[in-house]
């Protein structure tokens, strides 16, 4: 079971966000009492930390990075080392794509925080969203900007078939595994021997459900899929979901090391107030703003600096005009209809928290234009920002929150909390210093550099 995030807030409190913030801070203040144990350099003398440090520590502890994500029980391979290695191999597998020239790496660039360098991603066609980072992604509960998947393994199946992303199809993917001895062998060791797929009448070369082919450009392949026997379709869906499970096991390894912020908090927890590289007074003032006047913490809470939920920030569409992306409004129903959801037949835990959360989802018009709150860890290595990469750098993001200039207001759909902040020059640079101090250490070596095949 996922622990309740210490820095997170209950979305269901009837009070307004200001009240929520005050309540949360009062909670943190209670922690102060326990901290007067040691002072810097005088640990044995049971003196209190300097007041500023003790106060910072009390408010910051709930944001410190967690060791490892909880296991995703819907994927019994999620913590399997061999599956992760297989997933790393598949992450670079270009033969899975329709044209044979693209893999996950094409948009999730390992040298750019596993995010896209471009604002809008481009695969076998134009994508209308930005490919976010995959670092620390396994801590999340919903995937995609609109949350159209409730597990990492089911998320991975989307881009494989999406016509504008990799443009592959599940039958071709199964055949490729079966026809590539090295892949078939590892697949068999993990998931059981692949069934024979050489009867072309039962298992055509290409096939995918028409629902996975928006635009309908692959009508022949979707007709071939519909013509298959139900049991044979399930066989292919099983192989396809296992591909997702291996990819997810790999993505679960993409975890960043501690940031200057984490190192500062952990040092203070040990009673050590020596300076920490990358953390300074400006960053500390930025943290005060973040959790105080600027109220960023209302959405960017907990160890990932994200509540994992969906909000409408009113960020203007990249190419101007009125917003057209429904975000969460579309993501929720798409997820509930997916056969690969946590409560579906291909999940390894159909009655757990993930499945329940999806079942209970309600969609209302207020969700139109809401996007998932991104984690604020490791920001500096992966511009641009937001769901369309609207902002080229962090200065632009802070500018947007500060002035709200060009924000697209949708009356009641817009979050009430987001008002102009009227920050001074110094406050803006403090906030930036804080955001930069959330840059963590690199992903550990065996996982950091998948290569294309």
Nearer to ligand HEC by Cβ, of 145 and 191: the residue is 145
- Kindly list the distances between the CA atom of residue 278 and the CA atoms of 63, 378, 404, in Å, as whole numbers in the listed order: 17, 13, 29
Query: Among residues 50 and 292, whose Cβ is nearest to ligand HEC?
Result: 292
State how far the Cα of 9 lies from the Cα of 25, in Å rounded to an integer: 10
Element (H or E) spanning 399, and its range? Answer: helix 394-403
**Cβ closest to ligand HEC, residue 175 vs residue 387:** 387
Using the minimum distance from each CB to ligand HEC, give the nearer residue, 149 or 267: 149
HSE-up of 353 (CA within 13 Å, CB side)?
A: 9
Tell me how far apart the alpha carbons of residues 42 and 48 are, in angstroms, rounded to a whole number.
10
Q: Give per-residue burial for 19-41: e unless 16+ CB within 10 Å, then b.
A: ebbeebeeebeebbeebeebbbe
Residue 110 vs 271, nearer CB to ligand HEC: 110
Q: Give me the least distance between CB of 270 and ligand HEC, in Å please.
A: 29
Q: How far apart are alpha carbons 410 and 153 in whole angstroms?
A: 34
Query: Least separation, in Å, of the C-beta of 189 and ligand HEC?
Result: 21
Q: Where are the alpha helices (DSSP H) in 228-292?
A: 230-251, 260-269, 281-291
Report, in Å, the least distance between residue 435 CB and ligand HEC.
6
* DSSP state for residue 3 in the 8-state scheme: P
Shortest spacing between CB 129 and ligand HEC, in angstroms: 4
Nearest-approach distance from CB 61 to ligand HEC, in angstroms: 20
Least distance to ligand HEC, CB of residue 198, Å: 25
In total, the chain counts a number of residues equal to 453
| Distance, CA of 312 to CA of 404 (rounded, Å) | 13
* Phi then psi dihedrals of residue 287, to 5 deg: -60, -40
Nearer to ligand HEC, 139 or 271 (CB): 139
- The answer to whether 145 and 136 have CB atoms below 8 angstroms apart is no
| Residue whose CB is less far from ligand HEC, 54 or 250 | 250
Which of 164/339 has CB closer to ligand HEC? 164
- Min separation Cβ 379 and ligand HEC, Å: 6
d(CA 192, CA 185): 9
Pick the closer one to ligand HEC by CB: 54 or 127. 127
In whole angstroms, the minimum distance from the beta carbon of 168 to ligand HEC comes to 9
Interface contacts to ligand HEC, rule CB under 6 A: 102, 104, 106-108, 121, 123, 127, 129, 131-132, 134, 137, 140, 143-146, 148, 152, 155-156, 159-160, 165-166, 247, 251, 294-296, 298-300, 311, 313, 315, 371, 373-374, 376, 379, 385-387, 397-398, 401, 415, 417-418, 431
CB 306 within 8 A of CB 375: yes
Tell me if residue 112 falls in helix, strand or coil.
Answer: helix
State the minimum distance, in angstroms, from the CB of residue 290 to ligand HEC. Answer: 6
DSSP string, 282-304: HHHHHHHHHHTTT-GGGTS-TTT
Instruction: Pick between residue 9 and residue 273 the one whose CB is nearest to ligand HEC.
Output: 9
Q: Name every residue whose Cβ is closer than 8 Å to that of residue 53 and which is 6 or more positions away in sequence.
A: 40, 268, 273
Residue-wise over 290-313: b if at least 16 C-beta within 10 A, else e? bbeebbbbbbbbbbbbbbbbbbbb
Cα-only R_g, the chain: 23
CB of 271 to ligand HEC, least distance (A): 30
Going by C-beta distance under 8 Å and a sequence separation of 6 or more, which residues neighbour residue 6? 61, 62, 63, 302, 303
């Amino acid at each position: 079971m996922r622990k309740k995030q210490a820095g997170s807030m209950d979305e269901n409190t009837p009070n307004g966000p200001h009240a929520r913030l005050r309540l949360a801070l009062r909670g943190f203040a209670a922690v102060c009492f326990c901290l007067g144990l040691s002072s810097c350099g005088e640990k044995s003398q049971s003196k209190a930390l300097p007041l500023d440090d003790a106060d910072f520590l009390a408010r910051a502890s709930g944001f410190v990075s967690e060791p490892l994500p909880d296991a995703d029980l819907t994927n019994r391979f999620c913590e399997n080392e061999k599956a992760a290695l297989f997933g790393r191999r598949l992450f670079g597998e270009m033969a899975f794509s329709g044209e044979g020239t693209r893999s996950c790496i094409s948009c999730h660039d390992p040298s750019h925080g596993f995010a896209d360098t471009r604002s809008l991603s481009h695969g076998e066609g134009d994508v209308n969203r930005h490919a976010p980072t995959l670092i620390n992604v396994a801590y999340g509960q919903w995937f995609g900007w609109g949350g159209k998947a409730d597990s990492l393994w089911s998320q991975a199946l989307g881009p494989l078939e999406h016509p504008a992303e990799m443009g592959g199809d599940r039958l071709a993917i199964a055949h490729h595994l079966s026809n590539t001895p090295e892949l078939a062998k590892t697949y068999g060791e993990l998931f059981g021997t692949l069934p024979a797929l050489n009867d072309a009448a039962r298992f055509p070369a290409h096939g995918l459900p028409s629902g996975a082919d928006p635009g309908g450009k692959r009508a022949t392949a979707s007709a071939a899929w519909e013509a298959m026997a139900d049991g044979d379709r399930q066989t292919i869906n099983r192989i396809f979901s296992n591909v997702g499970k291996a990819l997810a096991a790999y993505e679960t390894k993409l975890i960043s090391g501690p940031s200057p912020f984490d190192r500062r908090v952990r040092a203070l927890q040990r009673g050590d107030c020596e300076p920490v590289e990358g953390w300074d007074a400006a960053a500390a003032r930025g943290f005060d703003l973040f959790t105080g006047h600027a109220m960023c913490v209302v959405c960017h809470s907990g160890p990932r600096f994200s509540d994992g939920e969906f909000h409408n920030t009113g960020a203007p569409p990249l190419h101007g005009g009125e917003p057209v992306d429904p975000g969460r409004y579309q993501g929720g129903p798409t997820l509930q209809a997916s056969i690969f959801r946590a409560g579906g037949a291909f999940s390894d835990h159909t009655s757990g928290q993930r499945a329940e959360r999806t079942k209970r989802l309600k969609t209302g018009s207020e969700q139109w234009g809401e996007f998932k709150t991104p984690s604020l860890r490791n920001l500096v290595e992966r511009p641009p920002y937001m769901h369309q990469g609207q902002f080229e750098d962090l200065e632009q993001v802070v500018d947007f929150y500060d002035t709200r200039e060009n924000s697209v207001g949708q009356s009641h759909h817009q979050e009430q909390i987001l008002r102009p902040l009227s920050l001074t020059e110094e406050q803006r640079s403090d906030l930036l210093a804080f955001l930069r101090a959330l840059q963590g250490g690199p992903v550990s070596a065996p996982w950091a550099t998948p290569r294309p095949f």
